[in-house]
Amino acid sequence: PRIPPLCAHAAGILLLLRPGTERKMRPSTQPRCFAGLVVVLSLFWGLQCGSGANVRTCPSPCVCSGELVDCSRLKRGQIPERIPEWTVTLKLTHNELEAIPDLGPRASNITTLLLANNRIAGIFPEQLQPFLALETLDLSNNAIADVRAASFPALPLKNLFLNNNRISSLETGCFTNLSSSLQVLRLNRNRLSTIPAKIFQLPNLQHLELSRNRVRRVEGLTFHGLHALRSLRMQRNGLSRLMDGALWGLSNMEVLQLDYNNLTEVNKGWLYGLLTLQQLHLSHNAISRIQPDAWEFCQKLAELNLSSNHLSRLEESSFSGLSLLQELHVGNNRVSFIADGAFRGLSNLQMLDLQKNEISWTIEDMNGPFSALEKLKRLFLQGNQIRSVTKESFSGLDALQHLDLSNNAIMSVQANAFSQIRNLQELRLNTSSLLCDCQLKWLPVWVAEQTFLPSVNASCAHPQMLKGRSVFAVSQDEFVCDDFPKPQITVQPETQSALKGSNVTFICSAASSSDSPMTFSWKKDNEVLNKAEIHNQAHLRIQAGAGGDTEVTEYTTTLQLHTVDFSSEGKYQCVISNHFGSSYSTKARLTVNSKREQNLGGVFSRMRRC
């Protein structure tokens, strides 16, 4: 038989050390020094190489490594009839096999059988019965159309891979004989359109993969019986509906991946029972709503991915109960409204991704919108149409280390807008729209002091003489304040109390030295009033300044509310914008009283005077 390389080396050394060799060596290297080595090598030869009974011969034309015999990419006639008895892992991939091969008595020693990329069309118990020690079976990329009852005999199988077949049905009881051992089951890239309820009676299964099938709806109790399951993958199924209790029974689940489906909302009905869930991936769906009590059963979540959905609002209750959440992905949505307390309760959040939404007003107008996120380290806000940053935009973010504001046409940054972020290590900012007036003097100095220059690319758009120049190339004397192209609020709307059924008017004015066209809008409780009655007017006035008189355009916008009732109560605010940015007025409160309340108020007023 073929002599293994290690035996050949041992034989060569023994020949060199045959009797008489020591006489040719120097006195310091005579027999006493080699006696031990000769004994050890002789024992090795006798035990491992000499008898020939224990020599591991690799059958031609296969390739062997350790206890692996790889007979892949051979024609059926070239596969050896006799597999060595020492074989533990047998690889027979890409061989055009049409059935699980008969290996005779050698099959009982094999623990891993790899049969991927063949032409096997069915699974039959008599073909698998000889594999008494089998723990891993890979039948991926074959032509299997269904899995019938009792397809698998009672085997100690732990890992079963059936990816990329033509499986369209699973018969009841098809995995019953594997219930005591199976831990990993992969059924990706098949043709399953339904999953029968309680089909998986596999109490030891830990990982189940059903991605790239055709499952559109999952009924209640579908996965009942998978008490040990830790991860479930069902991406790219076109899944549109998870019925109440669809995932009930998965009390040890840690990871649930449902990306690239057609789910439209998150509610506690289909999340019922997921008490240990730590990661939930819902990206690339059509989710437009998160029910107020959605997370009642998932309060151990550490990572939540809702990116690339249809969310337009983040309500105060959107993330209620997720106090252990560390990563939140809401990028690539349509978010234009964030309630004041939307992030309240996320006390352990360390990463927040809000990129590519429409939340400019959150940064420009809200007072500390992220102040509840005391442990936040990374905040991604790129691509949100943000035009101005105020000194309150990032207040409360003491732990923040990475802030990304790139791909926003930012025009103004108030002094000390970032100074409250004491631990900031990286700031990403690129804009060519800055108003380089005297209020921006601080920015290039601060950026240089903080060593953020490599990740900040900022240039001027106004005044004309500085247009296109980097702010880091503008001297302090060149930042001037002779004009104010961005609107400045001159008249604020006033808080009012009105009688039910009466009419109410709010007035707001702003001035600008630019002739850039103005747009006007009104908000109620932070939401734009799209159907309100609004009247706008403009007039010119002359304003005296240090550099001489300046022609200023003053704009007035009026909001008319007719026949107000109790639903009209709230906080009203005007927003006046032009090419250089937006200005937000203070919020005026409207209180509506009934006639009885007004009369009582008059009585109490007279009593106080008495």
Domain 488-593 = CATH 3.10.580.10: no
What is the pLDDT, as a whole number, of residue 80?
Answer: 84
Give the pLDDT confidence of 152-161 residue by residue, as tens digits: 999 999 999 9
Nearest 5°: CA angle at 528, between 525 and 533? 105
Q: Which carries the bigger pLDDT value, residue 31 or residue 341? A: 341
CB within 8 Å of 321: residues ≥ 6 apart:
295, 296, 298, 299, 345
Name, of 1-15, 53-67, 190-204, the range with top average pLDDT.
190-204
* pLDDT category of residue 484 using cuts at 50, 70 and 90: confident
What percent of the chain stands above pLDDT 70?
87
Q: How far is CA 388 from CA 126, 376, 528, 535, in A?
A: 72, 22, 19, 26
pLDDT at 147 over 90: yes
Q: Which carries the bigger pLDDT value, residue 109 or residue 544? A: 109
pLDDT at 488 over 50: yes
Query: Span 79-86, mean pLDDT?
Result: 87
What is the pLDDT, as a whole number, of residue 594?
Answer: 87
Question: Which own/partner contact pairs does 413-418 have at CB distance under 8 Å and 24+ positions apart?
Answer: 413/388, 413/389, 413/440, 413/443, 414/388, 414/389, 414/390, 414/439, 415/391, 415/439, 415/442, 416/391, 416/442, 417/389, 417/390, 417/391, 417/393, 418/394, 418/446
What is the pLDDT, as a whole number, of residue 115?
Answer: 97
Pairing of strands 588-593, 570-578: antiparallel
What is the pLDDT, as a whole number, of residue 454?
Answer: 94
In this structure, of 124-128, 135-139, 536-540, the range with the lowest mean pLDDT score is 536-540
Looking at residue 439, what DSSP letter applies? Answer: G
Q: Which carries the bigger pLDDT value, residue 188 or residue 368? A: 188
* pLDDT category of residue 52 using cuts at 50, 70 and 90: very low
pLDDT at 42 over 60: no
In this structure, of 23-27, 330-334, 364-368, 526-530, the range with the lowest mean pLDDT score is 23-27
pLDDT at 143 over 50: yes
pLDDT at 268 over 70: yes
Give the pLDDT confidence of 500-512 residue by residue, as tens digits: 999 999 999 998 8
DSSP 485-523: -S-EEEE----EEEETT--EEEEEEEEESS-PPPEEEEE
pLDDT at 28 over 50: no
* pLDDT category of residue 20 using cuts at 50, 70 and 90: very low
What is the pLDDT, as a whole number, of residue 610?
Answer: 52
Q: What is the mean pLDDT of the chain?
A: 88
Q: Which carries the bigger pLDDT value, residue 49 or residue 316? A: 316
State the architecture of 60-191 in CATH terms.
Answer: Alpha-Beta Horseshoe (3.80)
pLDDT at 360 over 50: yes
pLDDT at 169 over 50: yes
* 12 and 41 Cβ atoms separated by less than 8 Å: no
Give the pLDDT confidence of 392-428 residue by residue, as tens digits: 999 999 999 999 999 999 999 999 899 889 999 999 9
Domain borders along the chain are: 60-191, 488-593
Name, of 5-9, 303-307, 365-369, 525-529, the range with top average pLDDT.
303-307
Query: Span 108-124, mean pLDDT?
Result: 97
What percent of the chain stands above pLDDT 90?
73
What is the pLDDT, as a whole number, of residue 232?
Answer: 98
Query: Span 493-521, mean pLDDT?
Result: 92
pLDDT at 49 over 50: no
Query: Span 203-209, mean pLDDT?
Result: 98
* pLDDT category of residue 204 using cuts at 50, 70 and 90: very high
CB within 8 Å of 338: residues ≥ 6 apart:
313, 314, 359, 362, 366, 369
Reference 138, options 108, 117, 109, 166; nearest CA is: 117
- The DSSP H or E segment spanning 461 is strand 456-462
Angle of helix 5-16 relative to helix 31-44, nearest 10 degrees, comes to 150
Query: Helix, strand, or coil here: 37?
Result: helix
What is the pLDDT, as a whole number, of residue 591?
Answer: 96
What is the pLDDT, as a whole number, of residue 215?
Answer: 98
Query: Helix, strand, or coil here: 56?
Result: coil
* 58 and 69 Cβ atoms separated by less than 8 Å: yes
Task: Determine the Cα–Cα distance for residues 561 and 83; give it in Å rounded to an integer.
Answer: 89
569: left (phi over 0), alpha (psi -120 to 50) or beta: beta
Tokens (6 digits) for 480:
């001037």
pLDDT at 37 over 70: no
Tokens (6 digits) for 514:
């630019």
pTM of the model as a whole: 0.84
Query: Helix, strand, or coil here: 174?
Result: coil
* 239 and 217 Cβ atoms separated by less than 8 Å: yes
